[in-house]
Amino acid sequence: MSPKELLALAIAARAHAYAPYSHYSVGAALLTRGGKVFTGCNVENASYGLGTCAERVALATAVAAGEREFEWIAVAVGGADKARPCGACRQVLSEFAPELRLVLGNGRGRSMVTRLSRLLPMAFSLREPPASRRKRRPASLKRRGR
């Protein structure tokens, strides 16, 4: 599936957005390594802080279906500005796919492609960072087995 095709699915998912408070509808489509697509839309709540972003809805749906490896996400919004996933979604996506690629669309048929590692450099993780980013530990700490 091409990024453009994935974006078309995100645009379709956007139609289901429940955004009566912000009136800002968002759709997302997440592509697994195996080629399956899971979509999401933002789901707001009268208790504002309980609203969920489209990206996290798509991710949670995919994980609940047993998927954990993702290659692309498309995010679609309306208006002239292209979609920009919020910081919370960047971190949550990074948990499963730090190298995720993104296609971010606006409401006028324009889009751009980027990578999550560019949108969220130095993402928090409890996993070992890649060797290139690991700091050498002082010998004094190593000797004590810390």
Please tell me which residue in 44, 55, 71, 95 is annotated as part of the active site. 55
Q: Give the tokens for residue 46.
A: 């009268």
Q: Total binding residues for ligand THU by CB under 6 A?
A: 15
Instruction: Judge whether 94 and 123 are in contact, CB under 8 Å.
Output: yes
User: With binding defined as CB under 6 A, does residue 107 bind ligand THU?
Assistant: no
User: With binding defined as CB under 6 A, does residue 44 bind ligand THU?
Assistant: yes
Q: Give the tokens for residue 85.
A: 């996933």
Give whichever of 23 and 144 is closer to ligand THU, judged by the CB atom: 23
Catalytic-residue membership of 55? yes
Give whichever of 17 and 37 is closer to ligand THU, judged by the CB atom: 17
Instruction: Judge whether 112 and 134 are in contact, CB under 8 Å.
Output: no
From 3, 78, 85, 105, residue interacting with ligand THU (rule: CB under 6 A): 85
Q: Is the dihedral of CA 89, 114, 98, 121 positive or negative?
A: negative
